[in-house]
Amino acid sequence: MFLEHTRKHLPRKGCVEVITGSMFSGKTEELIRRLKRAKIAKLDVEIFKPGVDVRYDEENIVSHDSNFIKSTPIPSSSNLLLLSHTVDVIGIDEAQFFDDNLPAVVEQLAAQGTRVIIAGLDMDYLGKPFGPMPNLLAIADYITKVHAICMHCGDLASHSHRTVQDDSLVMLGEKESYIPLCRMCFVKAVQHSEVKSKENSK
């Protein structure tokens, strides 16, 4: 009771935390861990994810290890301002799928005193910066880069390699469509795919 009473009289300090890395690196797992700790601390917590991502569950955020936490799917970053203006901590998963206005919304929330914790892919399947993630990394107070294990050599992996033929930038998928690779193995895999594509076009 004393802790709750004291907290209500302290000014809220906003910040932006970004958890990033390749697929299968544990981003969502780390996001869930931090949000559950915030709940234990009796803070008001809201969790959001893009409405497009329903791979595991329509509402819950679910990690590859089947850890989950209830979330609210939203179609646009502007919805964050409408749904969370009095919240202490906001969690955002799969941030790369949101619109380019997300960094501005996040900065506004942090300025209001909200702790914003974001998880998202920093690079797409081509190894290029993904959606609003570069700008989110630029404005972040804290950045955590997590790594998967390269499926070719066993080194630390930082790239998500698409193993199926599809040129769409956004293609939801799991282990049947993507594998994590280190930089060197990723470059070799891309080169191999380009050679194969040229041979098939002849």
Domain segments of the chain: what residues? 2-147
Active-site choice (94, 107, 176, 199): 94
Q: How far is the C-alpha of 202 from the C-alpha of 192, rounded, in Å?
A: 16
Conformational region of residue 66, where left means phi above 0, alpha means psi within -120 to 50, and beta covers everything else: left
How does DSSP classify residue 128?
A: S
Query: pLDDT tens-digit profile of 71-100?
Result: 889 999 999 998 877 899 999 999 999 999
Neighbours of 55 (CB within 10 A): 11
4 assigned to active site: no
Q: Look at residue 24 in the predicted model and tell me its pLDDT.
A: 94
Question: In the chain, which residues have pLDDT < 70?
Answer: 1-11, 53-68, 169-175, 197-202
Q: Look at residue 66 in the predicted model and tell me its pLDDT.
A: 47
Q: How far is the C-alpha of 188 from the C-alpha of 170, rounded, in Å?
A: 22
Q: Look at residue 63 in the predicted model and tell me its pLDDT.
A: 46
Assess if CATH 3.40.50.300 describes domain 2-147.
Answer: yes
Joined together, the tokens standing for residue 92 give 């955002």
Q: Look at residue 60 in the predicted model and tell me its pLDDT.
A: 52
Could you tell me the pTM of the whole model?
0.83
